[in-house]
Chains A and B, each alone.
Chain A
Amino acid sequence: MDFKLTDKQIEHRKECYKVCAELEKKKPKTWVGFESQFDNDEGWDFHRYCAKEFAKRGWLALGWPKEYGGTGDMMEKVLFAEARGYYDLAGSDIFGVSMLAPTLLAAGSEELKKEFLPKIASAELMFCELWSEPNSGSDLAGLQTSAVRKGDEFIVNGQKTWNTGAHRADWAFGVYKSDPNAKKHHNLTFMLCDMKTPGISVKGIPYMSGTHVYNEVYLDDVHIPAKYIVGQENEGWAVVNVLAGFERSNLDMVYGLVRGVEELVHFCNENKRGGQPLSKDPMVRNKVADIACQLEAVRTLAYRVADQQNRNEMGLMDAAAVKVFASELMEKYSHVACDILGPYGQVKHSKFAKMNGAPEYTYQGCFVPIVSMGTNEIQRNIIAWYGLGLPRMK
């Protein structure tokens, strides 16, 4: 058992924290949290600015094999995520960098790798995901958007939904029903497409906080060249599963909470209630310490996942556990923080807010990680079926 990082990794982490700390100072005033990158133009500009700064240093390709411009060390990628999460920065495209790039490396053709990996590494292209549909959420494999092959291209028709950042993205990766007669799980094709392709229209769905993160995407006779298939035609479900395995070391979410706890401790030390600092209140101390314990527990498990991935073991069950635990801890943290703020727990990011309105933001923002990327209930099914070997009810 060895939790120690190498000197090179420690040096890299230091550099990541330094660069991210500088970038934090340039956050636009409207920035409330990670989702701000999609909500408004300043947020998106800041995201692209950070992305360019990271690209310059080769950090968007961390963990990739050396032949594609990476260093081959997954742990460096994880440490970069940690620093970004701590400073609540965007700049690493969750779809392009975190999901699509490793999927292309694992399942993409040489042509696709050559065409897209450099553009992801340089932050030239930002991606979105076209997966869920109005009648296909958790049961993703039952989706209906059709892709009919005509020679060298597919004609795609249907509707996608909950598409984070689709109103900003340059390209999309999507999954479509390409064979209406084949068996479930062998009837889907995974393809990339330019979001400027004629026939694509995007309509925002406001999140409960009023921010513009999610969208509906309508596809009306959209022509997608067959060369943009990832994996095999009609075997897109296998690619979906490969991708689903890449998106979850979740160190960025965990380190967002690390910062959150630090700020809560600072607030409690600096603010009085009834003439006494909040930090002297035994109830406050107990609650904050409890959150800190849970956070350290999930932080160590997230490192376990990173350690497994670094050895090319997928660690899917532990990754699912981290996703469930960290997102629900975010919810618990927001409740504790809002309670400590008292009546100010409801005040949004503004000149009136305490702690920059972060607790209010997290109080409703926590549902994004809880329901996305496979809801926590789906994660619990996955753990039960594949981790514990419990029977799957038909």
Chain B
Amino acid sequence: MDLRFTEQQEILKKSARDFLTKECPKAKVRELAKDSKGYDPAVWQKMAELGWLGFNIPEDYEGMGYSFEDLTMHIEEVGKNILPGPYISTVVNTFAIVEAGTDEQKKDLLPKISNGNCILTLAWFEENGQFDASGITLKATAKGNDFILSGTKVLADSAHVADYMIVVARTKAGSGEDGVTLFLVDAKSAGIKAELMPTIASDHLCEVVFKDVAVPAKNVLGKVDKGWAVLQTIIRKGSILKSAESLGGLSTVVEMTVAYAKERVQYDRPIGAFQALQHKMSDMWITMGTSRYLLYEAAWMESNNMPCAKEASMAKAYINEAYKLITALGVKLHGGIGTSYDHDAPLYFHRAKAADTVYGSTDFHRELVAQQIGLK
């Protein structure tokens, strides 16, 4: 057992930190919130040049082939800074192609993703707000060499700028896991309309309407009717990586809050000298520590191909709540200034709320944990 970062991980973290400090200061984060695209294509290209978009793509497909653990450490660092746009979405959904894609799908899409020429997103949620398989009602009907997709997806990250979407659809009557199929859908296909939904983190989530959209059968990702299993891969890996981003965010808030408490003077002393505030900050710190190793354990297991659905769900459920708790305390401990639009504390506070539904809410993951710990 050795729970320290490797040298490679330290280098990855530093390079992410240096890059984002320069390319994505908080002024830009706020600017992008109001931007129609929601990301900066020039920065996206630089990220591709640094290899960021190919970290998890095998070298055979023009990627870097880094380990999942290294990727997790990198994403944590990205989360510290905040990077608006479809980065996490693209990286996580790339895994579905790497693991379940055909040779042709891989050859076609992976090099494009790695080179920064393909933004990828997931169209999973629907208006019913469900996370389980019975929530999937968007219909895909076989017709000749195509499937015809009809229905509406919501809260799809950056679907308005995406090149490809992984669409979770129903190919068989019923409401179970069997009959769910994943499709790789060209976002420019006729009949697709994406519209931005205003959300708490201004993070460019879309409603996507599919009106008789023809998708070639060769674009089925995995097997017909058996897409739920592929979605589990996305959920598991996505839960770990989204939690890594959250861990980065919450650790920045702890740091920022402690620094402010040391410099802000009231009653002739720094407010950090008051125990009422000290104990809240200690609790923030304890919550950060417990989040950290829970996440690292899941990342290490995933990286070594050990079954870790339980650990991934535990990390997501726990860190969802940790991020919300810490960012709310961060706002409160800053006092009035912490509630203002131009302060950094609300940037993280908003993202904590947004993060908690991505790849499954706390309650969704607690139910998965309940199954894994043997509750019949």
A positions within 8 Å CB-CB of B: 1-5, 75, 261-262, 265-266, 268-269, 277, 279-280, 282, 284-286, 288-290, 292-294, 296-298, 300-301, 303-304, 306-307, 310, 317-318, 321, 324-325, 377, 379-381, 383-385, 387-393
- A384 lies within 8 A of B5 (CB): no
Known: A1-B300, A288-B370, A310-B1. A269 touches B375 (CB 8 A): yes
B positions within 8 Å CB-CB of A: 1-6, 9, 69, 258, 261-262, 269-270, 272-275, 278-279, 281-283, 285-286, 289-294, 296-297, 299-301, 311, 314, 317-318, 363, 366-367, 369-370, 373-376
- B373 lies within 8 A of A265 (CB): yes
| Chain A residues with CB under 8 A of B262 | 389-391
A384 to B262 alpha-carbon distance, docked (Å): 11
- A390 lies within 8 A of B272 (CB): yes
- A384 lies within 8 A of B282 (CB): yes
| Chain A residues with CB under 8 A of B269 | 391, 393
Known: A269-B376, A384-B278, A389-B262. A5 touches B1 (CB 8 A): yes
A-B contact pairs, 6 of them (CB 8 A): A262-B374, A269-B374, A286-B367, A294-B290, A296-B314, A301-B289
A297 to B286 alpha-carbon distance, docked (Å): 11
- Max count, chain B CB within 10 A of own CB: residue among A293, A298, A392: A293
- A3 lies within 8 A of B278 (CB): no
A280 to B269 alpha-carbon distance, docked (Å): 54
- A388 lies within 8 A of B285 (CB): yes
Known: A286-B363, A388-B285. A3 touches B374 (CB 8 A): no
Partner of A296 from the list B9, B294, B366 (CB cut-off 8 Å) is B294
| Chain A residues with CB under 8 A of B374 | 262, 265-266, 269
| Chain A residues with CB under 8 A of B278 | 380-381, 384-385, 388, 390
- A297 lies within 8 A of B363 (CB): no
| Chain A residues with CB under 8 A of B375 | 265, 268-269, 279, 284-285, 288-289
| Chain B residues with CB under 8 A of A282 | 367
| Chain A residues with CB under 8 A of B272 | 384, 390-391
- B370 lies within 8 A of A4 (CB): no
Partner of B314 from the list A279, A293, A377 (CB cut-off 8 Å) is A293
Q: Top 6 nearest A-B pairs by Cβ distance?
A: A300-B293, A384-B278, A297-B290, A289-B366, A380-B282, A285-B370
A377 to B278 alpha-carbon distance, docked (Å): 10
